[in-house]
C-alpha cells in the first residue's frame, strides 16, 4: 500500500474512493503510523533494543563498518534517483532520510564503541610500554631516593625526585611485584610515607614490620597481635589492607572495629595514602564505607576492595571476604567473635591477579588488641592459640619508642621521671612514639595498668575491667 498510496493526496483519494468521504484526520494518522512502523522495523534490524545502554549510547547490533557504509551509500543513491524521477514524492524521500539517520546513528555508535575499545587497549599497551623495563626503572628511581636520603635532600621536588618519577616508581612496583622484605619496607616508607619499625627492642618480641611483612607475603593465615596502647596497631592494619588492595588483584577484605569509630580510623588512614599524588591514581571508588582499587584501570583485571564494618552480629554475617582484620578484639564478646571466624575464604584470582601461588588469594584472619584483663577475649585467644594454629605477634612500648637522648646514665638517674620503668632502655630504641608522651604515661598510670597495657605483661587475676554497654568509645590513634 505504501508504494501505491503513499502520497498524501493519493491516500486522501483512496479514503474517499473507499468510504465515500474525505476523512483527513484518519488519513494523517494512518500515514503517520505506517511511516513510524516502517522506520521502527528498519531500526530493529540495526540495533539491539530501543533503550540506550549504560554509557548513554544506543548499542548497535554487530555490523562491520564496511556493511554500514555500503547501506549508507545505497540509501543516498535511492534519494538521488527519487529526486530525479519523482521530485514530488516528499513522503518517500522523508522515509529514506529517516533510514539514513538510523544508519548514521549506528555508524556513530559503532565508532564510539570501537574508539573506547581501542582506547582501553592503548592504555594497557601504554602501561606495558612504559614499564617494559620496570626493573631498571625501579632501580634507578630507588637509587635517586637513597641518594636524597644520604644527602638529606627533600623529595619529591623538581630538583631531586619528581612527582612523575614517583608515579613511575609505583607503577614499576605494581608491574614487577615486591621482591623481598627490604623492597617492601622501601615501598611503605617512601611511597606510602610511613617508616614501620623493623627491629624489636625486646628479644622476645616482634617488630611491627614482622607482622606487616608476614601478612603481605602470606606466611601465616591465622594471626593474633598483642601490642601496647598507641603502639601503631590500627596504622599497621591500614598498611596491610592498602598493600592487599594494590598488589593482590581481586582481593576482598573487611576491617572490623569493636565500634564504628575504630573501624573508620583505619579507613581514614587509607584515605591519607590516597592524598599522595603518586598513589591517588590507584583509587577507583571511595564511597559507602568501602575503598576500591584498580591499579591498571583494566577491564581484564578484577579490582580489589576493602570495606569497614562494625564487629557485630550483623557485621560478621554479611559478605565472605578473603581477608579480615579485627581491631580491639578485647572489647568484642566471644559469641560475636565466633561469627567472624566463619567469614573468610580463599578463592582463585582472576586474570592478572597476584594473590600468591597458583593464582590464589589466600584467606587470612588477623586479630589485634591490647590485653586489658586476664579473663577477657584477648587472654582466651592467647590461651587457645596453639590449638587454633594461631601465630602470636607481640610488641610493647619499647619496641615502638623513639630514641631517648636524655643523659640519665651519667649519674642523673634521679632526674629522669621515667627511670622507674625505663632504666635506660629507651636509649637504644628506634621507634616513633614520643619520649615526652612516654614519660607522662609512665608517671600518671598506676603500675599494673602500665605493665599490662604498655609493657604487654599478663595482668593479675585480681585486675578486672567491666564494660557497661552501650559506652562511648574514643579510638586510640594507633
Contact 244, 251 (CB under 8 A): yes
Cell numbers 586476664 correspond to: 374
Write the CA distances from 410 to 49, 170, 448, integer angstroms: 86, 47, 29
Cell numbers that stand for 249 in this block: 588483584
Residues shown for the chain:
478
Q: For every one of its 478 residues, what pLDDT tens digit does the chain have, with 9 covering 90 and above?
A: 333 334 455 555 655 555 555 555 565 566 667 767 777 777 766 665 544 333 444 555 555 667 777 777 888 888 788 777 777 677 777 777 887 887 777 777 766 665 555 555 545 545 554 556 778 888 888 888 888 888 888 777 777 888 888 888 888 898 888 999 999 999 999 999 999 999 999 999 999 999 999 999 999 999 999 999 999 999 999 999 999 988 988 899 999 998 888 888 988 898 888 888 888 888 876 665 567 776 655 555 678 889 989 999 988 988 899 999 999 999 999 999 999 999 999 988 654 444 334 468 999 999 999 999 998 999 999 999 999 999 999 999 999 999 998 877 655 556 788 888 998 899 999 999 999 999 999 999 999 999 999 999 998 866 555 444 444 444 554 5
Residue 13's contacts (CB-CB under 8 Å, 6 or more residues apart) are none
- Give the separation between CA 325 and CA 243, rounded to whole angstroms: 13
- H or E segment to which residue 34 belongs: helix 24-44
Contact 103, 46 (CB under 8 A): yes
Indicate the DSSP class of residue 331. Answer: G
- Give the separation between CA 307 and CA 453, rounded to whole angstroms: 29
- Give the separation between CA 424 and CA 404, rounded to whole angstroms: 9
pTM equals: 0.69
List beta partners, residue 224. 367, 392
Contact 135, 176 (CB under 8 A): yes
Handedness of CA 370, 315, 366, 176 (dihedral sign): negative
- Give the separation between CA 228 and CA 243, rounded to whole angstroms: 24
Indicate the DSSP class of residue 227. Answer: E
What is the secondary structure of 339-381 as a DSSP string?
HHHTT---EE--TT--SSGGGEE--EEEEEE----SSSHHHHH
CA angle 322, 323, 324 (to 5 degrees): 135
Indicate the DSSP class of residue 211. Answer: H
Which alpha helices (H) appear in 45-162, and where do they start and end?
65-85, 90-130, 134-150
Amino acid at each position: 500500500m505504501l508504494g501505491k498510496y503513499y502520497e498524501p493526496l493519493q491516500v486522501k483519494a483512496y479514503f474517499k474512493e473507499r468510504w465515500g468521504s474525505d476523512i483527513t484526520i484518519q488519513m494523517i494518522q494512518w500515514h503517520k503510523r505506517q511511516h513510524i512502523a516502517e522506520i521502527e522495523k528498519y531500526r530493529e534490524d540495526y540495533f539491539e533494543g530501543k533503550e540506550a545502554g549504560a554509557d548513554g549510547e544506543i548499542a548497535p547490533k554487530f555490523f562491520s563498518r564496511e556493511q554500514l557504509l555500503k547501506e549508507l551509500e545505497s540509501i543516498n543513491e535511492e534519494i538521488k534517483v527519487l529526486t530525479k524521477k519523482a521530485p514530488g514524492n516528499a513522503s518517500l524521500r522523508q522515509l529514506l532520510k529517516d533510514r539514513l539517520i538510523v544508519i548514521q546513528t549506528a555508524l556513530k555508535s559503532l565508532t564510539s564503541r570501537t574508539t573506547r575499545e581501542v582506547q582501553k587497549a592503548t592504555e594497557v599497551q601504554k602501561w606495558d610500554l612504559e614499564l617494559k623495563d620496570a626493573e631498571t626503572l625501579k632501580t634507578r628511581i630507588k637509587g635517586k631516593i637513597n641518594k636524597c636520603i644520604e644527602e638529606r635532600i627533600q623529595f619529591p621536588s623538581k630538583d631531586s625526585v619528581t612527582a612523575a618519577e614517583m608515579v613511575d616508581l609505583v607503577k614499576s612496583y605494581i608491574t614487577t611485584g615486591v621482591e623481598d622484605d627490604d623492597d617492601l619496607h622501601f615501598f611503605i616508607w617512601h611511597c606510602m610515607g610511613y617508616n614501620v619499625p623493623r627491629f624489636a627492642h625486646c628479644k622476645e618480641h616482634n617488630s611491627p614490620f614482622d607482622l606487616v611483612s608476614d601478612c603481605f607475603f602470606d606466611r601465616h593465615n591465622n594471626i593474633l597481635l598483642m601490642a601496647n596502647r598507641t603502639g601503631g596497631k590500627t596504622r599497621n592494619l591500614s598498611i596491610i589492607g592498602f598493600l592487599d588492595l594494590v598488589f593482590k588483584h581481586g582481593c576482598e577484605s573487611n576491617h572490623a572495629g569493636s565500634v564504628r569509630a575504630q573501624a573508620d580510623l583505619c579507613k581514614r588512614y587509607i584515605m591519607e595514602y590516597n592524598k599522595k599524588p603518586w598513589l591517588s591514581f590507584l583509587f577507583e571508588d571511595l564511597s559507602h564505607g568501602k575503598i576500591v582499587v584498580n591499579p591498571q584501570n583494566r577491564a581484564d583485571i578484577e579490582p580489589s576492595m576493602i570495606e569497614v564494618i562494625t564487629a557485630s552480629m550483623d557485621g560478621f554475617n554479611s559478605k565472605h571476604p578473603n581477608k579480615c582484620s579485627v581491631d580491639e578484639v578485647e572489647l568484642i564478646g566471644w559469641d560475636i567473635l565466633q561469627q567472624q571466624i566463619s567469614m573468610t575464604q580463599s578463592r582463585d584470582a582472576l586474570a592478572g591477579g597476584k594473590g600468591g601461588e597458583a593464582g590464589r588469594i589466600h584467606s587470612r584472619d588477623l586479630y589485634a588488641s591490647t590485653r586489658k584483663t586476664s579473663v577477657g577475649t584477648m587472654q582466651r585467644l592467647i590461651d587457645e592459640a596453639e590449638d587454633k594454629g594461631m601465630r602470636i605477634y607481640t610488641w610493647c612500648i619499647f619496641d615502638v619508642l623513639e630514641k631517648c637522648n636524655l643523659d640519665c646514665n651519667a649519674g642523673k638517674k634521679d632526674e629522669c621521671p621515667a627511670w622507674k620503668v625505663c632504666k635506660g632502655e629507651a636509649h637504644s630504641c628506634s621507634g616513633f612514639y614520643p619520649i615526652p608522651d612516654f614519660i607522662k604515661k609512665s608517671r600518671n598510670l598506676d603500675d599494673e595498668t602500665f605493665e599490662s597495657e604498655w609493657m604487654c605483661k599478663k595482668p593479675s587475676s585480681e585486675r578486672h575491667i567491666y564494660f557497661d554497654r552501650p559506652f562511648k568509645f574514643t579510638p586510640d590513634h594507633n
